[in-house]
Amino acid sequence: MGIWVYADDIILLAPSRSGLQQMTTICERFADMYDLKFSTNVDVVKSKTKCVIFSKTVIDVNSVRPIMLDNLPLPFVNEIKHLGNVLQSDNSMTKDCSIKRACFISKIHSLNQEFYFSDPKTLLKLYNIYTCSFHGSHLWDLYCNNVVRLYSSWNMAVKVVFNLPRATHRYFIEPISEKHHLKTMLCSRFVSFFHSLKKSNKIAIRLLSNAFQNNLMTTLGKNIYNIAQDCNCYPSDLTKLYVKSNLTFAEVSDENFWKIPFLKELLSVRSNEIEIPGFERDELSQIINYLCCD
């Protein structure tokens, strides 16, 4: 798997410095033959061509002999942006997730300001359409702390839409919104992506996906294992529809199940969809707060 190409975005992969230098030299000769130029500069800001050392341990790049292209040393960096995704030298993807979480929150605020007059269900539809693409989420560890914070941001967005207390229990989020949780969305998409890899017409992609699906040291293997655990099934049973039907963000205990229809009715009263005589607005808010946070 020496080269990944998408339009004019090219990544060269090599297990050693000498191997990468040989590949870079081949590219340099090709450019000379066809009168092409690479963007190279000793200043990392001005150079579009960069080098990254992917490693779980921190490596002092100053101790590594630079890769030469057009007689100039290529700068070493800790991260690069490729096809809209931030790839980090430690393979964590934490920065990519944090950036997209910030964009998600920003879009949520914009929609709330623009459509403040809309009912909660309409706003949730807009959230699904305009804020939940999360391009590149297939590369994330869907159970790491950064992604869990993204799930919490979704929870908060739902609470704001329905004007629920910030301390509202998590098990209310899905029943009240009547939508799949963001975690379910991302996990179902990941399973669909995984099956597309296994059916790829490129033998190398099929080989890698089959090799890593049971390897818990890889992001792919960890995600498949954890999703299967959440769905209470074997990894081989996972499909997109199975995940949507069986993955729940927070289970509702039997002793709290009665609260769900009660809270829905109270929210309908508050939004004037139905009327219950004898309730003051303050009393209604106190009961809702008690149900959500007790």
Model confidence over 24-60: pLDDT tens digits?
A: 999 999 999 999 888 888 888 888 899 999 988 888 8
Best CA proximity match to 70, nearest among 120, 36, 106, 107: 36
To the nearest whole percent, how much of the chain has pLDDT over 90?
Answer: 77
Q: Which positions of the chain have pLDDT values less than 70? A: none
The pLDDT value recorded for residue 170 is 95
The pLDDT value recorded for residue 37 is 87
C-alpha span between 151 and 213 (Å, rounded): 24
Return the sign of the alpha-carbon dihedral for residues 43, 45, 49, 55. Answer: positive
Report if pTM > 0.85.
yes
Model confidence over 143-191: pLDDT tens digits?
A: 999 999 999 999 999 999 999 999 999 999 999 999 999 999 999 999 9
